[in-house]
Structure 1
Amino acid sequence: MTDSSDADFSDPESLSLDTFAAAIDHTVLGPTTTLADVETLLDEAADHGMNACIPPCYVAEAAEYAPDVTLATVVGFPHGQHAPGAKRDEAERAWRDGADELDLVINVGRLLAGDDDAVQAEISEVVAAVPIPVKVIIETALLTNDQKHRACAAARDADAAMVKTSTGFADGGATVDDVALMSEYLPVKASGGVGGYDDACAMFAAGAERIGASSGIEILGGHPDADA
């Protein structure tokens, strides 16, 4: 995972441009994404010092194309309804293909049904299968606050590295209130609807330590040192 141990995200306006960039997962995950789209994203990430988050089918090619870019991919995406073993296998394949980090979608239906043990067990299985950080996407727009607490507790107890707000494929994305709630449990990746520098600053101030966005360049363009 990108080293941001010295960064004070609670005061985002104090972050250098380089530190700000290193906390952004520049993202392309839509259903029409091509390898050319991924390569463009990787070029942008490399040029600006960002990470990249891409579909799993392109991880091996991306790792070869841009070996110096921290590469995240998704598991069980976008709805989280894969069988647990399929998620484990997908995670292992992504790691072997060259992924540096994984963003795992929980099974929201299991959580809504009250089967928190199954949610935690599935996360634990993926975490145990790979030697790289696992961020857990809880899809906040579909959950009540109580359910958000339970999802974050499951991720924490399963030894996940981070919790993430959203896939971007449900109505609604990251909110300041959700980030604050989630940060009680684990570091937070705010994703979904973060479109500019001010949005990102608000998420950092609320407790986020990472931003997932397709608008990484636009976010960095608002930094005071962007044109320096």
Structure 2
Amino acid sequence: MDRATLAGMIDHTVLGPKTTIADVESVLSAAETYGMNACIPPCYVAEAAEMAPDVTIATVIGFPHGQDSIEAKREAAEIAWKAGADELDMVINVGRVKAGEDDLVETEICELVAAVPIPVKVIIETASLTDEEKHRACAAAVNADAAMVKTSTGFADIEDLDVETAGATVEDVSLMAEYLPVKASGGIGDYEAAMAMIDAGAERIGASSGVAILEGAPA
């Protein structure tokens, strides 16, 4: 895949707890230069929208653990949209999924989808779920009219989990693509890794290594 095509599929990301406005400016500059989207913390959305009006800006809701109340997530979604966000990446309440409370999971997603006129991507945090739970989480996203499902926050604690990575895997992308367009995120550091996810069915890549991915692509 050539760089121009791939660039539009990448959400160039900075979401760490030490993220500064200078970090956001750097991500926006790279996004403008290469034709990528940007994914940034919600506290910087208004500034980012002014700095880079031509860049598609995504931000996160309930990040990274997803345990805010439904009301808090809905209000955060509305604030982010009004501040200038073009897309929202919301973290579901993984505990609700694991407890089998699928109705509540679906209701939460519905509340956000109804609250804003912009696409809502649903982060299901695959490292914390069994395959059966992944299927149920994706089904809830479908029923709630979400725009996409997303693999990971990239911040899952996997010390007590029987998994090798907290990020995206080809197997998870393939499973999720049965339901909705997939944003593969977490641990995607180069062109080859990005293409493996795309070949598995991903339509969007979330990565802090957006520039490195593109520089590895055919010109």
Which interval holds the TM-score relative to the shorter structure? Answer: over 0.9
Which residue pairs with 2:18 in the alignment?
32
Q: Which residue of 2 aligns with 1:158?
A: 144
What is the DSSP-based 3-state SS (H/G/I as helix, E as strand, rest coil) of the residue aligned with 1:77? Answer: coil
Q: CA deviation at 1:93?
A: 0.3
Find out whether 1:46 has 2:32 as its counterpart: yes
2:89 is paired with a residue whose SS is strand
* Aligned-pair CA distance for 1:17: 1.5
Q: Paired residue for 2:117?
A: 131
Alignment correspondent of 2:196:
202
Take 1:46 and 1:82, find their aligned partners in 2: how far apart are those partners?
33
Cα distance in structure 1, aligned partners of 2:67 and 2:201: 28
| Residues 1:76 and 2:62 aligned together | yes
Partner residue in 1 for 2:162: none
Q: Secondary structure at the match of 2:217?
A: coil
Q: Using the aligned pairs only, state the percent identity.
A: 72
Q: 1:135 is paired with a residue of what secondary structure?
A: strand
Tell me how far apart the structure 2 counterparts of residues 167 and 203 of structure 1 sit (CA, whole Å): 16
* Residue in 2 that maps onto 1:192: 186
Residue 179 (1) aligns with residue 165 (2): no
SS of the equivalent of 1:57 reads helix
Which residue among 23, 34, 43 is the counterpart of 1:57? Answer: 43
Q: CA deviation at 1:16?
A: 2.9
Distance in 2 (alpha carbons) for counterparts of 1:65 and 1:122: 32
Residue deviations 1:207-227 (CA, integer Å, cap 9, x gap): 0000000000000011111xx
TM-score normalised per structure 2:
0.96
Unmatched tracts of structure 1, length 5 or more: 1-14
* C-alpha distance in 2 between matches for 1:221 and 1:87: 36
How big is the shift at 1:167?
0.2
Q: Give the alignment of 1:7-22 within 5 angstroms.
A: 15-22=1-8
User: TM-score of the superposition, structure 1-length normalised?
Assistant: 0.92
How many aligned positions are there?
211
Residue of 89, 105, 108 corresponding to 1:103: 89
Task: Report the AA paired with residue 24 of structure 2.
Answer: V
2:67 is paired with a residue whose SS is: coil
Corresponding residue of 2:101 = 115
Partner of 1:224: 218
Whole-angstrom distance in 2 between the partners of 1:125 and 1:224:
42
For residues 59 and 135 of structure 1, the distance between their equivalents in structure 2, rounded to whole angstroms, comes to 17
Can you list the C-alpha shifts for 1:132-177, whole angstroms capped at 9, x where unaligned?
Answer: 0000000000000000000000001000000000001013110000
Large movers: runs of 4+ above 3 Å: none
Instruction: Give unpaired runs (5+ residues) of structure 2.
Output: 159-165
Which residue in the other structure is 1:211 paired with? 205
Letter in 2 for 1:55: P
